[in-house]
Structure formats: structure tokens, C-alpha cells
Amino acid sequence: MSKKAPTPKYVIGIDLGTTNSGIAYAEIRADADPFAPANVQLLGIPQLTNPGEVREEDLLPSFLYLPGSSDFPAGSLALPWDDAPNFVAGRLAQKRGVENAGRLVSSAKSWLSHSGVDRTSALLPFRAPEGVDKISPVAASRRYLEHMRQAWDAKMPDAPFQAQHVLVTVPASFDAVARELTLDAAQQAGYQNITLLEEPQAAFYAWIERHPDWRERVTVGDLILVVDIGGGTTDFTLIAVTEANGELSLNRVAVGDHILLGGDNVDLALAGVVAHHLAEKGTKIDSRQHQALWANCRVAKEKLLEPGTSAKETPVTILGKGSGLIGGTIKATLLASDIDQVLGEGFLPAVASTEMPAVQRRVAIQELGLPYAADPAITRHMARFLRQQAATVEHGAVRRGPSGIAAPTHVLFNGGVLNAGLVRERLLATLDSWLAGEGLPPVKPLSGEDLMHAVSRGAAYYGLARTGRGVRIRGGVPRTYYIGVESAMPSIPGFPAPLKALTVVPFGMEEGTETRIAGREFGLVVGQPAEFRFFTSASRKNDQPGDLIEDYGDALDELSPMEVAFDTGVTSEVVPVSFESVVTETGMLQLWCVARDGRRWKLEFNVREKV
């Protein structure tokens, strides 16, 4: 008899960030009042802060340092769960990487989203010198996730991590491959029972968790823009406040495209400014030193943008080209005014709502690297989202200005970059100028959120909401989806067998839900390549899962066919299967073909509207 899996005691929210990662959790209590506060808590993460010194911090910096044989004294890298790790994760990795950028893995999450490279191959550290063993973006992500699992088990021995329900967050704009690789990294790190959740939604769930009176702060017809600027990506999401059964309801109505633009870009731009200052004084730096300067500028920027700081400048030091540790150092200064200029002119310029991001003409031969957004102006990307992405939303679902632009009433900020008051103020000023041009009042910021921990807290809250304790943001599928079924008719020369359409996803099916098509079996071709044909309809809103449509004529639109060969170890066979449809929290339709003997095969594609 198989052993029954233990019932989860906690939901755990994992923010796998580009620059920082974190853990939050909440207890699952069957007897809890569904309207009681969720009581989400943060987990302190033990990590090396100096050689031989382990401390708990509320975030794990998303950096790996791959040490050489003489980088650290023997035994000085011991952790509570590993006496001799062969890498360093977290705060010490970030510190040591400033001194030796060639051994520092950073921005692994951005590489995970890069479709132009093999994300499972050893790429990082990018531009590492000879002799450094590289690792893949998936392996780096796995190590952050593994560190957090081991930290949990060290602190919560009575509730093993693998027995809990775990939610891992990803950017809203991650493609299907990046999501699948994130799941692979989590599974390699020992995660089980995983759900992926989008970061902007998680941030909004965190706001709800912190404001039980949210229904008094927004009203029907309001439109909330979530602006999420992290270390590697910028994401925009629109959430409409609607009414369902006499109560306020939340409906995610638009998600932006993938924009590889964030704190990393700002840090690189600041490194360029400092390098220019050095060059003016006669000191030129090489590419290796520029990598170190980039890492130093990240630390210096965070100091200068800390809330409440009065500092106007901070020193930046990098090693020279000589062998001397003291005489060989190069000293420079990053000014607060440099940050103001770079952000104001480059990343957050005042633009009209009709200004779209510039498209850069590409050079035919390029160095492999991260495909950063060609236009660094976040305000232009925001204009494009409100004008183009939101324009695909059904008329009446979002509040609009006379020119047709989606017109948010509220804005929620998330991501480390938005810790800086300057960034928030410039975005608000830009939004308000657009709304004024439409004859509408200014946008209202949804304040009181913890930007550094919102994503992990919101993921934990969402985990509770799935159990009935909390509010869920609705994200209904905007169309009905069908799979083509070949009729069982004799072959006639020159005439293919007629195709019927089986309804697999009904209109409005919510993300994060599943349905089983019971009582119907079909033959699945396995062991050889076979074509799967999918159809969709925006007008047929009453078809239910399992309905078989004949003579559908022009009522259905066909999607691109999918050719798949399901391997069973047999040359070819037709297996009787039933269907299970899952629409994930990240907008993917997973159509599972389930055989009578329990074998399962998956087809997957995106069911979100695209421009």
C-alpha cells in the first residue's frame, strides 16, 4: 500500500528574484475564520555574510560566487546544512563579486528568459576568465531555490519543506520555456507540489493581505495599474474592479509583453557615467574592470537611493591592472546627481502618451548576451502598454480616456527599483500628465506596501486564498477553445475525414482552475509524429467542456497546428484517452491526455490575448 502524502501545514511563497529572493509563509488552518487576517510571516534566511560568519537576513541576494581554490580559508564557507559547499550564495557572494566579478553569477533569471541561447548550457558567469567552471542559468536558479529550501528545513524541522504547498513567482512576461525551466530548477532543488504565480499579481495580493479594508479603498469601475520594475524586468498588469453577485470582485484584464529592462540596466548606465568621469581624468578601464565597476555601482546606487538618506555621493573602488592591492586600486565617486540625470533623461523621461518605444536597427553580427530592451525609457513602454496591450481588451472591460488609452484610477508599485522615491514620483507625474490630457483626475497610488517582500508575501496569501481563506483575482479565459477530432468514417479518395471540434476550455474559465471531461474517450496516436489542431471562438460563449461541435463552418478560428510525437517505447499505437484541461495561474492551457492505465501526455499553449 502506498504511503499517503502528509497534509501541508503551511503555504510557502518563494520570490525568485533577479537581484533578491525571499520566503514568506502562512499556516493552513481548517478551522480558521475565512475572513480572519492571513497572518503571513517572513522567514529569515541563514547565509554567509563574511567568511566563517552565518547570519539570518530577510532576503537572499540572488548572487552566486564560484570560488577558486585559494579564495577562502578551509572551513570558512560552512552552512548549518552543508559543511563544505563548493559555491557561495547570498550576501557574501554579492560582496566578494564586487572584488572579483569574473567569478560572480548574477542576473541568472534574466538569462533564464533569454530565448536566443541554450538556457541549460554553462553560460555563467558571462565573460568569465579562463579556468572558471561555468554553470547554466537553470543550475544557478536551482541553487538559490535549494538554499531557501534548506534554510526552511533548518528552521522548521517539524514541517518539512517538501510536505508544504509551495508557490514560486515568475515575471508576468516569462514565456512558456522560461516558466518550464523555472519548474525544472525547482524540481531539481527538491521542490514538490509547486504552483507558479505571476509577480505583479502576487504584489497585488500582498496589498490585499495588508489592507483587509480594500473594498473601502476601491470601487466598481476602478482600474488598477501594477508597475513592477525589478532587477531584470519591467512588467505591467491591469486589474479591473468589477461586481459579482453583489460583491466587489477583481479581474486581471491585461498583461504586458516581456521587457528586459530593470535595475541591471540602470546599474550599467551608472557604470558608464563613472567610467566617463574616470576617462576625463586620464584613467581608462578595460572590460574586466568595467564588470567590477558595474557591480560596485549597484551597491553605491542602493546606498544613495535608500529612503531617508541625505548622502550626495558615495565612493566606488575597483582594482587596477597591477598586482598591488593598495597602489593598484582605482577610486571614483558616484554622485546622487548622476543617478537623477540617468533616471530622468534615460529611463524615466517625460513623454507624451503617444510616444512608443524606439526600435533599434540591428547589426547583422552580434555578441551573444542578454537581449536588453532597445529603448531604455520605461515611460515609453508604459505608454505602449496602455495604448496597445490594453487596446486588445474587450470594450467596456477597462476605463478609457477619449483617445482610447486605458486610464488607470490607481497604481500599485512593486520591485526594488521603486524603493526610490524619485522613480515613483517621475512615474506618477507622467501618468498624471497623460490623464490630464484626457480630462481625467490624477491617479491614486495604493500606498503602504513593502516593496522588497511584497511578492513572497502575496504568493503565500494567494496559497491561502486557494484554500478558501482570502480574495482571488479573477482572470477568465477570453475565448472558448476546442481540439480537432477526426471523424470515424471510411476513407473516400480525395476527401479527408470530416473534423469535429471538442470543447476543452469554456469561455471565462478562470486561471488556476481545471476541468475533467468525463464520459468521453478518444483515440490518441502515440509512437509517431501526429498533428494536433486547435480552434477558438470569441462568439460561442455557451459551449461546455465535452461538447462536440459538427459543421462549425466559419464560427471557429483555427490556431497554428501543433505536431508532437508522444514516445511510449512502441512503434505506433492508438490509445483510448480522456481529457483534463488546466488553465494555470500564468495563462497556459495544459491539455492532459489520460489513458485508462494512468499514463498521461501533455499539450500546452498560451490562452492569453496577444497584440
Domain ranges of the chain: 10-197, 480-606
Give the closest residue to 128 by CA, choosing from 156, 152, 107, 100: 100
- Rg (C-alpha) for the chain, rounded Å, is 26
- What whole-number percentage of the chain has pLDDT above 70? 91
Per residue in 354-386, pLDDT (tens digit) is 999 987 654 444 444 677 788 999 999 999 999
Neighbours of 487 (CB within 10 A): 10
582 pLDDT above the threshold of 80: yes
Q: Could you give the residue ranges of the DSSP H alpha helices within 281-347?
A: 287-304, 336-341
The three-state DSSP-derived secondary structure of 19-58 is CEEEEEEEECCCCCCCCCCCCCEECCEEEEEECCEEEEEC
Q: What is the pLDDT of residue 368?
A: 47
What letter represents residue 76's amino acid?
A: S
Question: What's the pTM?
Answer: 0.83
- Of the listed ranges 28-37, 197-206, 402-411, the least confidently predicted one is 28-37
Average pLDDT over residues 25-47: 85
Q: What is the pLDDT of residue 253?
A: 83
Output phi, psi for 290, to 5 deg: -65, -35
Lookup result for grid cell 486589474: 239
Q: For the chain, how long is the longest CA-to-CA vector?
A: 87
Average pLDDT over residues 544-552: 89
Q: Are 447 and 160 in contact (CB under 8 A)?
A: no
The three-state DSSP-derived secondary structure of 514-579 is EEEEEEEEEEEEECCCEEECEEEECCCCCCCCCCEECCCCCCCEECCCEEECCCCCCCCEEEEEEE
Per residue in 491-527, pLDDT (tens digit) is 555 556 678 899 999 988 888 889 999 888 999 888 8
Per residue in 380-437, pLDDT (tens digit) is 999 999 998 666 666 567 889 999 999 999 999 998 888 888 899 999 999 999 999 9
Q: Could you give the residue ranges of the DSSP H alpha helices within 156-251?
A: 176-188, 199-210
Neighbours of 561 (CB within 10 A): 10
> Band of the pLDDT at 1, cuts 50, 70, 90?
very low
What letter represents residue 35's amino acid?
A: F
Output phi, psi for 445, to 5 deg: -70, 140
Q: Are 207 and 446 in contact (CB under 8 A)?
A: yes
- Domain 10-197 class, CATH top level: alpha beta
Q: What is the pLDDT of residue 248?
A: 80
Between residues 46 and 248, which one has the greater pLDDT?
46
Name the range with the highest mean pLDDT among 56-70, 266-280, 367-381, 457-471. Answer: 56-70
Q: What is the pLDDT of residue 394?
A: 65
Give residue 369's Cα distance to chain centre.
Answer: 20
Output DSSP code: residue 344. Answer: I
Return d(Cα 64, Cα 103) in angstroms, integer.
8
> Band of the pLDDT at 448, cuts 50, 70, 90?
low
Q: What is the pLDDT of residue 450?
A: 80
For the chain, what's the residue count? 611
Return d(Cα 424, Cα 373) in angstroms, integer.
21
Return d(Cα 460, Cα 166) in angstroms, integer.
8
Q: Is 398 helix (H, G, I), strand (E, B) or coil?
A: coil
- What whole-number percentage of the chain has pLDDT above 90? 42
Q: What is the pLDDT of residue 561?
A: 83
